Structure 1
């Protein structure tokens, strides 16, 4: 499937539109451009080529926007990040919630196994029989059957396993190991094996077109091509082995950066994606697609320390992952602002350098993009939904609803 190229925005016009839409709101605040959000959603569906897209809630962290995207054709189900979140979403009416990470939440498991509605809606992740033991110990009087998904490790292994590329997730790296745990799930009363997941983060979450680093970018593309071929074979073998033991309802794979590649595998029945809806800065550097920045936040100018410098309130919102220059948010609008290397993004205030600073007055706004997607919502209690030149709705984030799951 050919790469999709989003239209190049007129940044001055975009800034003017955002400023007009939010003129009566005091910064700091966060906003989502619904036109860009919907366009990104449509592009994820296009790249999935007919396979349903399960939306990753950690990349959205707003119930209203989860409802919005799930109402769009091509999306089905949620991939959650904690058991407490999964139960909350299920109680809120979301009927298909796949917990993407193992949990040690005993109280949550007691709640899950004691409520037929929750047990029918939530699927938990397992990659070790010890996790089944924990669920059994937490059951109490609850006897509801627990839906289980197994996770296959997707890391690229070369040189006899001495070279490894990819996140350290599941210990189950081949069909035999996966089948062994599948047998344990199947033989145990109170559990039902319904799914398999394999998330290739080193393909889906690593950009392959890094500005100023052509050789590194080429190396990443080569690594990802090898990884895709290897994983397609391993995933097919693993799915076949587990299907001999259980009637799987779904096989989940992929992520925003690998949607079209993962969807091409016959063994995969659904794709996971979420970050591409907001299009944070870490997803700008892909050759396979180009999204439209949808999630932004505005900080007010509160000082003008000198020529070519302004200071905004707040800004120190780094993303998770290895510390580096790609983790802070980026000044987005107006174009041409940059951090002071001696200060960076500050906890309470952030100086910004560049020619546009001289055109900014105290009270004006600087618009930023976060490095990651849903982590932005841990900093703000609400998202202003911008459509055209007005805010059509203001909706709470998880944090705005008093929910801080991690």
Structure 2
């Protein structure tokens, strides 16, 4: 590694010399050859993966399955291939387990109880707990499956609604570990206030006085945005108001005044890394620059997270946080102990980071070198040794990563270069109009009922419906034929369907027990009558 860095440093000096232009041409030609070779490797890898996908999503077999009158399948419908779904969960768990990390499933990216439970069961113990969008979503999953998820539910976003906090407090007294997200002292004070009001209410006062109450667990959301010039400018989502040490001290001051809350976790989601594709054909920024910037951003994320957690250690020096302690607390805090306001105000049991997009982040020297040559600066070479997945997994401060979209592998996640997951779901639309090619246009069009579903976020070509569909031979389709389309995002497509159709072995329907009956349809949250998002 030292030799590589030294060599690049010398190359940078040459670029600044009088022979810079001549040598630059030579180096760029070499770089072009390396890029071509690297691109061939990517295409070879992608071709192997897509061969597996073509086997699982054979159009003619799917068409026969959907149009078979015995199956009574009505389109639009959502179809999930369980073989690929299982492969994806094993791939994600394999990476986490390789480095001794646990995986927390993000239910927002699935929104189908059966699939959440299946993924958890297929993880062989690597999955420990869920990350839910809503307290009432966590309550539903607990009521449906009991202890199946280790009674461990991290609520991904702060909530200040009285009903949410009261529900979390009630579940906590049943030894269910509901972990509310906070990012400031104001959040803590509001949660404490609602808990105290709930305890003091007439119907709960006697019961509370007769028992020792469990505190509501909290997780502190850290801001991981990339700070430039001391915070004058920043890149990334401002997810939290906790950005530096003084914010930690302010939060700790509020925590000290409370009797019914306990901080047990920290989350630092690197939205500008895990949530930004690095090989998106609809982006105007070259892929090599995006990937290099991601590695630079990751270095600051790691250092920032370490600094803020060390600040927490200095504030509460009496709580354990070392390798042995983390091993003892591998179940993230569902080993409850009853305390009569004698529990430690902070008992850090997990540090959450990452996402599907970050799990596959790898070090790629070539992309970084391309940016350095483009910038022609000697200083840039010093940024070559950057953080990556292996470095984050070896970081003693990170105990778990979160993933969910990779199980479904929606369209957008194809645009992560190192993502090894395969498409596990699609939705079917029926062809309602066919337009043949004309003498002016060598391509025809087919129109489909409903036109598809738009994805949330900024309106861009990778999130818009693509119908009418352009095709060279539209007469290949008959009116009423199904076409199969992937959603841009993994979870929100479930808001359009009451049930998912399960299949395996290419196009065989997969039957599961549903209310003492066997069915290949499993309900989504919408199908169960719930809207959490």
In the alignment, structure 1 residue 236 sits paired with structure 2 residue 236: no
Structure 1 residues 399 and 212 mapped into 2: Cα distance closer, same or farther (>3 Å)?
closer
Counterpart for residue 263 of structure 1: 393
Structure-1 separation of matches of 2:54 and 2:418: 23
In the alignment, structure 1 residue 249 sits paired with structure 2 residue 349: yes
SS of the aligned residue for 2:198 comes to coil
Counterpart for residue 291 of structure 1: 421
In the alignment, structure 1 residue 317 sits paired with structure 2 residue 365: no
Structure 2 contact 172–178 (Cα < 8 Å) conserved: no
Structure 2 contact 188–254 (Cα < 8 Å) conserved: no
SS of the aligned residue for 1:58 comes to helix
Counterpart for residue 103 of structure 1: 159
The runs of 5 or more residues in structure 1 that have no matched partner are 330-338, 340-349
Structure 2 contact 131–153 (Cα < 8 Å) conserved: yes
Structure 1 residues 356 and 165 mapped into 2: Cα distance closer, same or farther (>3 Å)?
farther
Structure-1 separation of matches of 2:395 and 2:173: 33
Q: TM-score, normalised by structure 2?
A: 0.68
Q: Which moved more, 1:117-126 or 1:63-72?
A: 117-126
Structure 1 contact 195–250 (Cα < 8 Å) conserved: yes
Pick from 103, 106, 113 the counterpart of residue 63 of structure 1. 113
Shift of 1:283: 0.6
Structure-1 separation of matches of 2:450 and 2:173: 42
Over the residues paired in the alignment, what is the CA RMSD in angstroms? Answer: 2.3
The runs of 5 or more residues in structure 2 that have no matched partner are 1-40, 200-207, 317-345, 361-388, 438-443, 511-519
Structure 1 residues 369 and 85 mapped into 2: Cα distance closer, same or farther (>3 Å)?
same
In the alignment, structure 1 residue 198 sits paired with structure 2 residue 268: yes
Shift of 1:311: 1.4
Q: TM-score, normalised by structure 1?
A: 0.88
Shift of 1:361: 0.5
Counterpart for residue 18 of structure 1: 62
1:330-382 deviation digits (Å, cap 9, x = unpaired) = xxxxxxxxx4xxxxxxxxxx422212422111111110111111011001011
Counterpart for residue 377 of structure 1: 494
Counterparts of 1:334-349 in structure 2, within 5 Å, are: 339=466
Counterparts of 1:99-248 in structure 2, within 5 Å, are: 99-117=155-173, 120-139=176-195, 140-142=197-199, 144=213, 145-211=215-281, 216-244=286-314, 245=316, 246-248=346-348
SS of the aligned residue for 2:502 comes to strand
1:49-89 deviation digits (Å, cap 9, x = unpaired) = 23111000100001111101111222121001122222322
Instruction: Pick the structure with more strand per residue.
Output: 1
Equivalent residue pairs, number? 386
Structure 1 contact 150–182 (Cα < 8 Å) conserved: no
Counterpart for residue 396 of structure 1: 523
